A and B are shown apart, each in its own frame.
Chain A
């Protein structure tokens, strides 16, 4: 008689789980506080945008061309120019990291400019310890140099025709604010944390506290047990996701162009994967500590690094690219970015949904297989 599924028992178990969530400060922390902290971290602290960079300038040539070039540099919105008087000061400031780079206009600047093409007239020093910034500095200054040279030549009557007139327009994220791209990805991280990490501990907790043994001795069925561990955390994750959405749209001004229904459907598929992974680890390890550590290493970190959230998958190496194929966050983050920034691109969303469904079935089936009705 107890082989049959009972809604009443499932409801009782879910209610119990809800009580435990509400009363455990750590689950509230993970579900509501941590997501907001993560959002702000990813939205404001991590910034992939080009911003104003402090660069020193040492002028050893007093000619008018040199001064003219310095004025052009000063006019640039991306460079914060700091005059340096002596070579030693330059070295000191660079090693103190007060400057991200330096421009040296040598005393033969005017000569070189007059003699040839101005080759070797300007020396750019960058801090190779931070390659990204170093590249920015080089590129900026190079750009300014080129346009200054062109203006200079035009002033002198040398007409130069530019073969192509480049006008850049970024689609989908016109102002290329990296936050708009990072925040949807962060929601994938948040759901990984709640879905996998929180759930990874709940079954283990029952084992550790000896309550699992008492539960197994009651007439509950395996399906009831599994659903009672899934439904409450699914709801909790969805609440956390909508909290993130509200914070992102209202406080952080991230545009949301897609439909809530599509968001919900995609999130459900992804949560199937995350909950499945969490429950599987929890059931397999029976220890909260082990389950949480493994979820961190096998769930959270790969999502963060290889999910295409911070680092673009296209720029990864071949083998790494293959590994990303089994990371659910990759598909989910991609769908989220699409839903937020573009609205709806059915071909992308459907492909991702298919992949997520496959992964979800895999993890849930594994959990169902691993879950036993006895202690054997």
Chain B
């Protein structure tokens, strides 16, 4: 194998409008081999996009140099652009052009002509399975199909190097798996692929991985080599008697534990040294409980390299009283959907969905893009009116008295709906104000939130300029101002780094223990594992409902005796397709 891309001491600095500068890449060096798939992995703001743009010749390095196929991308851009296929975020498609018009445009721009074009179109349309949709506007395609079309447009002209910027973002596991199959096939043909992602599980499939954090590469090797340093440091606590969330909290207080998550009925721990196990008895996990070693994951290394994530107790949960429901509310159905249906014209987005959520339960709503989970979710928090059926929270019909119900619930939206032009402090004041807090109560609550989420240093910054992890803290603070008994979270951790996600879930676990009922939607399969129960929605219908372990068990087969949450998701959705 020979070298396709080589960067040395590469630094990229951006000048901000107000004079301050930010360092997007800080002296990185990396080598990418021909014909391999390299994953650029890290949270938003790690420098992935900047690195790809430098490779594509769209940006000029501040210090250091980069060579792609032996050329300098910024200087030799005209020459190099023929050999590079670059797919930016959002895929670079024209939504008001049809599939074939998009292909024609990019073919013309990339000098793909005549019989060569015909041959390539036939091949790509078959490859992406888009032949049936050539006349459809790109804007009308599903997320997965858009992504495939974006890839097809990028592949015109048969580039030697393929740069993909977060092709998997906002796309469900099924489409992601399909895309992965396509890219793997391309790399088999000798193409060099760079794939940026914030999903660590996605990166495990790459030939080699660059783990990135804050403009630096913290690890660069094959996934198995990166994982191997964690060998013997990953444990499952199985057969837990009692509350697994409390077990996790106690385990994270043990000095040898650096990270821990809920995984279905089990708790998964990472220790600082191989072979060093926490004392099971002190964890109070029940006498049947056992410690079992398990395979390391890429995320374990990442968190270990970033210094661990020991978020044991939630300071947020400590500030709120135990939830006491009014006697009129049935603790077994704090949130209830009764034959919930929503139609947009003749399209049924949600079709007769029923479920009820217990007090203190974490209830997950999962499903592919466009399956109706957002619609269901929005009806449950009173943002959409059902066409028929009922959405009840705490026994109150959202259709009849939405404002009364809304006073009881906290809502944290996708992308954190904060006011970007307001300072952190003003956001806190505004949100506490709209929830009816005044005077000393308001002042105290705001101070409490500042302490709990360590927002002190950021108070005067515009919330739009905050790092994503801090934004997430602020959004949770704003949603919890009025001590709601219910919390609705819509993809609360998209793009946030794993450490911040651990911190976030420690709060959610703590709140659940206090009796706050939580409903959450997510695309992260590992986050689904935190849920007590999961409702899987597909084509507007509820196709599965149960604990994470129930769902996993339901798809056990001889081929796959130990399915993951993602396996379960894919198999259940495909099963519903066959019906």
Q: Which residues of A are interface residues toward B (Cβ below 8 A)? A: 1-3, 6, 8-9, 11-13, 15-16, 19-20, 23-24, 209-211, 213-220, 373-376
Q: Closest A-chain residue to B85, C-beta based?
A: A217
The answer to whether residues A219 and B88 also contact, given A12-B104, A374-B74 and a CB cut-off of 8 A, is: no
Contact of B96 (CB < 8 Å), options: A20, A217, A375: A20
Contact call A213/B105, Cβ cutoff below 8 A: no
17 contacts between A and B (CB under 8 A): A8-B113, A9-B108, A12-B104, A12-B105, A19-B101, A20-B96, A210-B90, A211-B94, A214-B92, A215-B92, A217-B84, A218-B81, A219-B81, A373-B77, A374-B77, A376-B59, A376-B60
B residues less than 8 Å from A12 (CB atoms): 104-105, 108-109
Contact of A375 (CB < 8 Å), options: B53, B89, B94, B101: B53
In the complex, whether B93 has a CB less than 8 A from a CB of chain A is: yes
Contact call A213/B88, Cβ cutoff below 8 A: yes
Min C-beta distance of A342 to chain B, whole Å: 44
Min C-beta distance of A227 to chain B, whole Å: 14
Contact call A220/B109, Cβ cutoff below 8 A: yes
Q: How far is the CA of A24 from the CA of B74 in the complex (A)?
A: 35
A residues less than 8 Å from B77 (CB atoms): 373-374
The answer to whether residues A19 and B96 also contact, given A210-B90, A213-B88, A375-B53 and a CB cut-off of 8 A, is: yes
Contact of B94 (CB < 8 Å), options: A8, A20, A219, A220: A20
Contact call A219/B105, Cβ cutoff below 8 A: no
Q: Closest A-chain residue to B81, C-beta based?
A: A219
Contact call A2/B81, Cβ cutoff below 8 A: yes
Contact call A214/B87, Cβ cutoff below 8 A: yes
B residues less than 8 Å from A219 (CB atoms): 78, 81-82, 109-111
Min C-beta distance of A225 to chain B, whole Å: 10
Q: How far is the CA of A373 from the CA of B127 in the complex (A)?
A: 32
Min C-beta distance of A165 to chain B, whole Å: 68
Contact call A2/B108, Cβ cutoff below 8 A: no
In the complex, whether B95 has a CB less than 8 A from a CB of chain A is: yes
Contact call B91/A210, Cβ cutoff below 8 A: yes
The answer to whether residues A214 and B86 also contact, given A374-B57, A376-B59, A376-B60 and a CB cut-off of 8 A, is: yes
A residues less than 8 Å from B108 (CB atoms): 8-9, 11-12
Q: How far is the CA of A346 from the CA of B57 in the complex (A)?
A: 51
Q: How far is the CA of A368 from the CA of B97 in the complex (A)?
A: 27
Min C-beta distance of A333 to chain B, whole Å: 34
Q: Which residues of B are interface residues toward A (Cβ below 8 A)? A: 53, 56-60, 74, 77-79, 81-82, 84-97, 101, 104-106, 108-111, 113, 153-154
Contact call B86/A2, Cβ cutoff below 8 A: no
Q: How far is the CA of A214 from the CA of B60 in the complex (A)?
A: 17
Interface centre among B93, B94, B111 (most CB of A within 10 A): B94
Min C-beta distance of A198 to chain B, whole Å: 15
Min C-beta distance of A317 to chain B, whole Å: 37
Contact call A211/B59, Cβ cutoff below 8 A: no
Q: How far is the CA of A374 from the CA of B93 in the complex (A)?
A: 19
Contact call A210/B92, Cβ cutoff below 8 A: yes
Given contacts A8-B108, A16-B105, A374-B57, 19 further A-B contacts (CB under 8 A): A1-B78, A2-B78, A2-B82, A9-B108, A11-B108, A12-B104, A12-B105, A16-B94, A209-B90, A209-B95, A210-B90, A214-B93, A218-B110, A219-B81, A373-B77, A374-B58, A375-B58, A375-B59, A376-B59
Q: How far is the CA of A373 from the CA of B84 in the complex (A)?
A: 16
The answer to whether residues A23 and B96 also contact, given A2-B78, A218-B106, A373-B77 and a CB cut-off of 8 A, is: yes
Q: Closest B-chain residue to A3, C-beta based?
A: B78
Contact of B81 (CB < 8 Å), options: A8, A13, A217, A376: A217
Q: How far is the CA of A88 from the CA of B91 in the complex (A)?
A: 75
Q: How far is the CA of A305 from the CA of B123 in the complex (A)?
A: 58
Min C-beta distance of B16 to chain A, whole Å: 15
Interface centre among B57, B88, B89 (most CB of A within 10 A): B88
Q: Nearest 4 pairs between A and B by C-beta?
A: A214-B92, A12-B108, A217-B86, A210-B90
B residues less than 8 Å from A8 (CB atoms): 108, 113
Q: How far is the CA of A209 from the CA of B92 in the complex (A)?
A: 7
Contact call A211/B93, Cβ cutoff below 8 A: yes
Min C-beta distance of A8 to chain B, whole Å: 6
Q: Closest B-chain residue to A22, C-beta based?
A: B96
Min C-beta distance of A247 to chain B, whole Å: 29
B residues less than 8 Å from A376 (CB atoms): 58-60
Q: Closest B-chain residue to A206, C-beta based?
A: B94
Contact call B94/A210, Cβ cutoff below 8 A: no
A residues less than 8 Å from B97 (CB atoms): 16, 19-20
Q: Closest A-chain residue to B86, C-beta based?
A: A217
A residues less than 8 Å from B111 (CB atoms): 2, 6, 219
Q: How far is the CA of A19 from the CA of B102 in the complex (A)?
A: 11
Q: How far is the CA of A19 from the CA of B96 in the complex (A)?
A: 8
Min C-beta distance of A233 to chain B, whole Å: 16
Min C-beta distance of B319 to chain A, whole Å: 40
B residues less than 8 Å from A11 (CB atoms): 108
Q: Closest A-chain residue to B57, C-beta based?
A: A374
A residues less than 8 Å from B82 (CB atoms): 1-2, 219
B residues less than 8 Å from A375 (CB atoms): 53, 58-59
Min C-beta distance of A195 to chain B, whole Å: 22
Q: How far is the CA of A322 from the CA of B407 in the complex (A)?
A: 60
Q: How far is the CA of A11 from the CA of B87 in the complex (A)?
A: 23
Q: How far is the CA of A213 from the CA of B78 in the complex (A)?
A: 15
A residues less than 8 Å from B85 (CB atoms): 217
Q: Closest A-chain residue to B107, C-beta based?
A: A12
Q: Closest A-chain residue to B102, C-beta based?
A: A16
Q: How far is the CA of A219 from the CA of B111 in the complex (A)?
A: 8
Q: How far is the CA of A12 from the CA of B94 in the complex (A)?
A: 13
The answer to whether residues A216 and B58 also contact, given A19-B96, A20-B96, A210-B92 and a CB cut-off of 8 A, is: yes
Q: How far is the CA of A218 from the CA of B153 in the complex (A)?
A: 11
Min C-beta distance of B149 to chain A, whole Å: 12
